Structure 1
Amino acid sequence: MKKQYKLRSYSILPGFGLSLGFTMLYISLLVLLPLSMIFFNTLTLDWTKIWSTISDPRVVASYKLSFGASFAAAFINLVFGVLIAWVLVRYSFPGKKIMDGLVDLPFALPTAVAGIALTTLYTPNGWIGQFFHIKIAYTQLGVTIALTFIGLPFVVRMVQPVLQSLEKEVEEASSSLGANRFQTFTKLIIPELLPAVITGFALAFARAIGEYGSVVFISGNMPMKTEITPLLIMTKLEQYDYAGATAIAAVMLLISFILLLTINLFQWWINRRYANE
């Protein structure tokens, strides 16, 4: 008698089909449907009009600024976010809980308020800007500072739990076996932190690409110089050019998807590499 195999394997927990259905419905309504409408609305234009809209020199300049400043801000947060997380986890000092709470402030602070505050600080006569011999507000540097501000919590909060889970006994064993601090850090700590660091970088980068409120004030919005892509999209919408706005948004969406997919593939490769070691 031939052995019959089940086509499905059931989970111990009940309700898988129902919960999966609600999950797919929720994601479709909140994510897939709105994103698909961007492309449907864009296709109301002919290809010549779409290309002229997305390849306009002013729009291309905004692409370069938005993605370039977002990448720079995410990289800065990668370096200093790890440092801040290390200090908060490994050291005890007065005001530690206050500092830990301040890390989440960019999450709670309205972005428009953050933009006004940063602009006030970094103008040539501001509290911080007056001490610099270079102009910060209304420049690309100011845009990068604003994007760094709103992206900092992502790296810190991704790295912090991993550092808390690392056992100090492993580092002590490494030291007792003759490894110096640099070897311990590079061979033991970095491999554990790397997936969380890459995830935090990706989240900070994604958050910065679509940022509007905190940048629109400090950038100065000068065409071809400090104009970000989300501002151009808002400008198109104010002019009732909805198809043109969605065409620019579709380009942002495609580029963001490709970049985030590349980052996720790199993270998968890192996880697989260290898992096999």
Structure 2
Amino acid sequence: MARLQNIKMKRIGVLPGFGLSLGFTMFYISILVILPVSMIFINTVSVEWSKIWQTISDPRVVASYKLSIGASLTAAFINVVFGVLIAWVLVRYRFPGLRIIDGLVDLPFALPTAIAGIALTTLYTENGWVGQFMSFKVAFTPLGITLALTFIGLPFVVRTVQPVLQNMDKEMEEASASLGANRLQTFVKVIFPELLPAALTGFALAFARALGEYGSVVFIAGNMPMRTEITPLLIMTKLEQYDYAGATAIAAVMLIFSFILLLVINLLQWWTNRKFI
């Protein structure tokens, strides 16, 4: 009798069987992710190691690594701080224009990156609407690049943290307050452990998006070698010069760094889930 019930349970399902679903998933990921990424490494190893090393260790390329990675990390950290704050306001408070502000958060998703870059450049040049009132330069500096990367990465943090805040039980905060904890203690002991895994996910998504960003950065960067030249621009330059081996070598370095950092973030998420849950 129990065996018949198990057979009926196996037959009843919204999706196909595990084997078919897993096979389709692996095929889909292989075609869209694994195959294109593997081609970068295949094209790279087909070139002489001396030429690869000469390309990836060029001072101009190394400077672009430092700028792209540093600006992406800075923008991701900024987005974590302010993204959590914005998500908190959108979830915990009710005020006129809430839906409008909530919709504006997704604007960087819908706005073409080139348009975003042109708009930011227009605003923050020395003669721009905002730049003319600032005592320091923003456009055509690393600060402008960080600003553009912050703009395009904010929605990833907000939309990752927002569902966690919506599902968080407010009674836990009330219980913490009733036991004598102040606001800071309640945040550190009750709220922060719940938000940390989602915040790490948002950080990883924002960083990954910023690292490969091209359209919104190329306008505001100024593209000055050794100063404001990002790695994606160098890759595009190599492609325009038909130096496919050089382009794939630089891309492979960025991919390896991205994989390592994302692995570290995933390990941190696993550790926080084990420690706080």
Tell me if both proteins adopt one fold, taking TM over 0.5 as the criterion. yes
Which amino acid in structure 1 is aligned with residue 215 of structure 2?
A: G
Count of residues in correspondence between the two structures: 266
1:183 aligns with 2:196: no
Higher helix share: 2
Which residue number in structure 2 is paired with residue 7 of structure 1?
A: none
CA RMSD of aligned residues (A): 1.2
Partners of 2:240 and 2:199 in 1: CA distance: 39
Quote the residue 1:139 is aligned against.
141
Shift of 1:234: 0.2
Deviation at 1:12, TM superposition (A): 7.0
2:52 match: secondary structure: helix
The residue number in structure 1 matching 2:56 is 54
Paired residue for 1:70? Answer: 72
Give the aligned partner of residue 23 of structure 1.
25
Percent identical across equivalent pairs? 79
The correspondence for 2:153, drawn from 140, 146, 151, is 151
Which residues of 2 match residues 124-135 of structure 1 at below 5 A? 124-135=126-137
What is the CA distance between 1:11 and its match in structure 2? 9.5
CA–CA distance in structure 2, aligned partners of residues 227 and 163 of structure 1: 38
In 2, the alpha carbon distance for the partners of 1:29 and 1:129 equals 45
SS state at 2:221 partner: coil
Q: Which residue of 2 aligns with 1:6?
A: none
Q: What's the offset of the Cα at 1:117?
A: 0.3
Q: Which amino acid aligns with 1:151?
A: G
Structure 2 counterpart of 1:116: 118
1:258 aligns with 2:260: yes
- How far has the Cα of 1:180 moved from its partner? 1.4
Name the TM-score, length of structure 1 as normaliser. 0.94
What is the CA-CA distance between 1:44 and the residue it aligns to? 2.4
Aligned partner of 1:4 in structure 2 is none
Give distance in 2, aligned partners of 1:179 and 1:43.
Answer: 58
1:69 and 1:43 map into 2 onto residues whose CA distance is 29
- SS of 2:181's partner is coil
Deviations for 1:19-75, whole angstroms, at most 9, x for unmatched residues?
Answer: 111111111111111111101111221000000000000000000000000000000
Distance 2:11 2:27 in 1: 21
CA distance in 1, matches of 2:11, 2:131: 60
SS in 2 for 1:217: helix
Aligned counterpart, 1:244: 246
Q: Which amino acid aligns with 1:112?
A: A
SS of match in other structure, 1:233: helix
Q: Which SS does the other structure have where 1:74 is aligned?
A: helix
SS in 2 for 1:179: coil
| Higher deviation after alignment, 173-182 or 218-227 | 173-182
Aligned-pair CA distance for 1:182: 1.4
**Cα 1:262–1:12 shift into 2, 3 Å:** farther
Structure 1 CA distance, aligned partners of 2:180 and 2:141? 50
State the Cα deviation string for residues 188-240 of structure 1 (Å, max 9, x = none): 10010000001000100000000000000000000000000000000000000
Query: In 1, Cα distance between the equivalents of 2:200 and 2:12?
Result: 34
Q: In the alignment, is residue 230 of structure 1 matched against residue 221 of structure 2?
A: no
Unaligned runs of 5+ in 2: 1-9
Measured in 1, the distance between the counterparts of 2:120 and 2:75 equals 15
The equivalent residue for 1:90 is 92
Distance 2:61 2:11 in 1: 51
1:173 matched to 2:175? The reply is yes
Taking the aligned partners of 2:187 and 2:11, their CA distance within structure 1 comes to: 41
Supply the distance in 2 between the matched residues of 1:11 and 1:186 (Cα, whole angstroms). Answer: 47
Query: C-alpha distance in 1, partners of 2:134/2:246?
Result: 40
Question: What 5-or-longer segments of structure 1 have no aligned partner?
Answer: 1-9
Q: Which deviates further from its counterpart, 106-115 or 40-49?
A: 40-49
State how far apart, in whole Å, the 1-side matches of 2:18 and 2:126 are.
Answer: 59
**TM-score normalised by structure 2 residue count:** 0.94
